[in-house]
Chain A
Amino acid sequence: AQSVTQLDSQVPVFEEAPVELRCNYSSSVSVYLFWYVQYPNQGLQLLLKYLSGSTLVKGINGFEAEFNKSQTSFHLRKPSVHISDTAEYFCAVRDAGGTSYGKLTFGQGTILTVHP
């Protein structure tokens, strides 16, 4: 079984400042890692995912994340945020063995609020 911990429930930041949203996971098997974003009154949208290869993954809207296997982390970063990045961000993991019937295990979410 897997578990995901998002270390910050809320992150306030000023516009054009850098931001890092932290995610740690626990698993006894290899995993795939995902970051989703949920804007108010909308469903979840994939930002980026790590499957294999380069540990630095680039996603949409200028976000990137780095997979660190030794620290079991997958932190999300953006060098300069915009007001429109205000949303809730979810980290998720999935068993890479393909036996978990598509089950994503989600963290509790981090609310990013960008202030002008």
Chain B
Amino acid sequence: ETGVTQTPRHLVMGMTNKKSLKCEQHLGHNAMYWYKQSAKKPLELMFVYSLEERVENNSVPSRFSPECPNSSHLFLHLHTLQPEDSALYLCASSQEIRGGGETQYFGPGTRLLVL
């Protein structure tokens, strides 16, 4: 595997379910991100991790819970979601977060549908 991978690629869940999204980066980067891409809206940054420490939580509801056990893996735990949470969830990684000009590399995303 190369780059940034995400599993599953598609997920359908009910509002009472609990599920997790997984992201893995094979680039040796130190920072990882979760973004939400909804129809007709710009990409929204949800969480940023640097060296496994969360450095930004962009006012995301508590029904989304991130976990970063090491610099290569990032999870997004989901519980009691709402239909408006249906979206494409993108994971990204970069070498660092402080430089400013570093490129973020994106995974293919998980398409989530909440019924």
- The contact of B100 among A36, A90, A94, A107, by CB within 8 Å, is A94
Any chain B CB within 8 A of the CB of A4? yes
Count the B residues whose beta carbon is within 8 Å of the partner chain — how many?
30
Q: By the criterion CB–CB under 8 Å, are B100 and A96 in contact?
A: yes
Minimum CB–CB distance for B57 against chain A, Å: 10
For B56, the closest partner residue in chain A by CB is A101
Minimum CB–CB distance for A88 against chain B, Å: 10
Per the bound structure, the CA–CA distance linking A44 and B45 in Å amounts to: 14
Any chain A CB within 8 A of the CB of B80? no
Taking CB atoms, residues of chain B closer than 8 Å to A101 are 48, 50, 55-56, 97
For B97, the closest partner residue in chain A by CB is A102
**Interface, chain A (partner B; CB < 8 A):** 4, 32, 36, 41-46, 49, 51, 90, 94-98, 100-109
